[in-house]
Homo-oligomer: A and B are copies of this chain.
Amino acid sequence: MKSYTALTQRFARLAALEEATGLLHWDMSAMMPPGGAGARSEQLAALKRVRHDLIADSAVAELLDEAETETGLDSWQRANLCEMRRQWNHETALDGALVEALSKACSASEMVWREARPRSDYQAARPHLEAVLCLVREAASAKAARLGCSPYDALLDEYEPDGRAARIDPVFDAYAAFLPDFLEAVLSRQGARGPALALDGPFPLEAQRALAASFMAALGFDFAHGRLDESLHPFCGGVPEDVRITTRYDDADFSRGLMGVLHETGHALYERGLPAAWRRQPVGRARGMSVHESQSLLVEMQVCRSRAFFTFAAPRIRAAFGREGQAWSAENLHRHYSRVERGFIRVDADEVSYPAHVILRYRLERALIAGDLAPADLPGAWADGLKALLGIVPPDDRRGCLQDIHWYDGAWGYFPTYTLGAMTAAQVFAAAHKSLDGLDLQIASGEFAPLVAWLGREVHGRASLLDTDALLVAATGSPLDPEVFQRHLANRYLS
């Protein structure tokens, strides 16, 4: 096991460098003044280049070959070696110059996007998007050759290990077919009940921050091991010992900022629950982005938008904002938080229409990567696609193809993991329900520890020991079953 042991040391150093990169990204989003963008781009590119050079060192290739013939590795060690090979495949498929060029192009593009989005100025962002796409396509081809799959699958594989478009297509096509009638039924039932009572603002940001932090603490977030900050695009970064989540607040509407926090808290609990014994080793990481998203959506959608949660939450929300009356009842708050509508913005979408946003982006990014769609034609294709899926057309690019950071920041092949995650969340929560007696009552009384402990055993603590399918089988008894999600929706919105 000499070669395996040598690899664990190298990958620990690589992980520490990636953690530094992660902190620079967090800072860029949550703290950095605008004038720091150019320097940050150089710093990130240098770190990525150094990481690349370390992993592309010929000694690593030799150690991997040798370790794969070594005997006596246990299942965690074998899985660790397998994840090392995966990282090596992804990284060494690209040469150092491409890695550095991609990093710089993404940083530059992201900064332009930040300015262009509020102005709805796609023409300003487009040259940067084109530059990023050009480099991403080059990277996708190189990885495809290494992995023996299509360029798009090669991108997907980075976020969703072993994910393949051929397996996603039927899942997404089935949802696209299910959605129109279901959405119509939900909207018609919702219309018949009439609107929820209005929740009038303003909601001071300090009160929103304190309320969010109190729910985080109730869910088990430990502020000695993490922070809550603000950024344009909410995210969860940091490391298991120091998880950094962000949200954005609107003083006219507390609901989005709060749900953003609860969502990111789900991600944070996953990170905190990863096994300390495998810290900084590839097998010790979260098992891909669909599983990660399943943990955020389990907290946000399955737990915190349930009727049971508002029994716990409503008195705290009333106290935070000094409100009372019928509008602030658990029932009315739940109606707000489970409202369904056809909207333009993915991050504001309800869980019924959200998959339509993802399916749109999945189809568009596949066409862009394949070269079947040019960035110049993106706004038109976006409008056509959204019309087909949800029956609406965005009035401007701010509410269309400029709304998400992902493509501008180089994250291609990422979008499908949101909806795979939503489906996984429904399935995992259904399994938790079977295992934990009285789960709804626990949620209604703010006792989240049994659920978090169950998730820790069944999902978090397994890290990347199993592949995604095997992890789902271990936790729920079956691989991904998209019908569980449809049943969840029918149960919440039509029963």
Report yes or no: B27 in contact with A43, Cβ–Cβ below 8 A. Answer: no
Asked if A46 and B13 sit within 8 Å, CB to CB, the answer is yes
User: Quick one: CB contact mask for A228-270 with B, threshold 8 Å, 1 for yes?
Assistant: 0000000000111110000000000000000000000000000
Cα distance, A444 to B203, chains bound together (Å):
43
A224 within 8 A of B: yes
Tell me whether A331 is interfacial, beta carbon within 8 Å: no
CA A31 – CA B43 in complex, angstroms? 20
Assess whether B20 is in contact with A46, with CB atoms less than 8 Å apart: yes
Question: Which of A32-40, A74-82, A171-179, A346-354 lies on the face that meets chain B?
Answer: A32-40
**Residues A23 and B16 in contact, CB atoms below 8 Å apart:** no
Contact (A19, B33) CB under 8 Å given A46-B13, A50-B50: no
Asked if B16 and A45 make an inter-chain contact with CB atoms under 8 angstroms apart, the answer reads: yes
**Which chain B residues lie closer than 8 Å to A47 at the CB level?**
16-17, 20
With beta carbons under 8 angstroms apart, the residue of B19, B33, B54, B224 that contacts A35 is: B224
Let me know if A227 is at the binding interface, CB within 8 A: yes
Number of chain copies forming the complex: 2
| A31-81 contacts to B (CB < 8 Å) | 31-36, 38-40, 42-43, 45-47, 49-50, 54
Rounded to whole Å, the gap between the CB of A226 and the closest CB of chain B is 6
CB atoms of A42 and B280 under 8 A apart: yes
Q: In the docked arrangement, what's the CA distance between A303 and B34, Å?
A: 30
Interface residues of A in 202-235 (CB under 8 A from B): 222-227
Of all chain B residues, the one with the shortest Cβ separation from A272 is B35
**A43 contacts across to B, CB distance below 8 A:** 16-17, 19-20, 23
C-alpha spacing A81/B212, complex, angstroms: 53
Contact with B along A1-28 (1 / 0, CB 8 A): 0000000000011001101110110010
Assess the B242–A50 pair: CB atoms within 8 A.
no
With A16-B46, A46-B17 as known contacts, state yes or no: A33 contacts B242, CB within 8 Å: yes
Interchain CB contact under 8 A, B33 and A223: yes
The closest CB in chain B to the CB of A22 belongs to: B43
Chain B residues with Cβ below 8 Å from A225 are: 33, 35-36
User: How many angstroms from the CA of A242 to the CA of B28 in the assembled complex?
Assistant: 11
Cα–Cα, bound, A54→B46 (Å): 12
Supposing A36-B225, A225-B33 touch, asked if A42 and B27 sit within 8 A by C-beta, the answer is no
Q: Is the CB–CB distance between B35 and A24 below 8 Å?
A: no
A52 to chain B, nearest CB (A): 12
Alpha-carbon distance between A238 and B24 when the two chains are bound, in angstroms: 12
> Which of A21, A31, A34, A240 gathers the greatest number of chain B CB atoms within 10 Å?
A31
CB-contact partner of A23 in B27, B45, B280, under 8 A: B27
The distance from the CB of A104 to the nearest CB of chain B, in whole angstroms, is: 11
* Shortest Cβ distance from A47 into B: residue: B20
Q: How far is the CB of A291 from chain B (nearest CB, A)?
A: 22
Q: Bound state CA distance, A47 and B20, in angstroms? A: 8
Report if A227-B31 is in contact (Cβ < 8 Å); known contacts: A38-B241, A39-B239.
Answer: yes
Asked if A49 and B239 make an inter-chain contact with CB atoms under 8 angstroms apart, the answer reads no
Q: How far is the CB of A483 from chain B (nearest CB, A)?
A: 41
Contact B280–A13 (Cβ < 8 Å): no
Complex Cα gap A179–B40 (Å): 46
CB–CB A32/B280 < 8 A: no
Given known contacts A20-B20, A27-B23, A35 and B227 CB-to-CB distance under 8 angstroms: no
Residues of chain B lying within 8 A (CB to CB) of residue A40: 242
Given contacts A43-B19, A241-B39, whether A226 and B33 have CB atoms under 8 Å apart is yes
- Chain B contacts for A241, CB-based, 8 A: 35-36, 38-39
Bound-complex Cα distance A19 to B46 (A): 10
Quick one: closest B residue to A21, CB to CB?
B20
- Out of B13, B21, B39, B222, which one reaches A50, CB within 8 Å? B13
A-B pairs with beta carbons under 8 Å apart, 23 shown = A12-B42, A13-B46, A13-B50, A16-B46, A17-B43, A17-B47, A20-B20, A20-B43, A20-B46, A20-B47, A23-B24, A27-B27, A31-B31, A33-B225, A34-B224, A35-B222, A35-B242, A36-B238, A36-B239, A39-B240, A39-B242, A40-B242, A42-B280
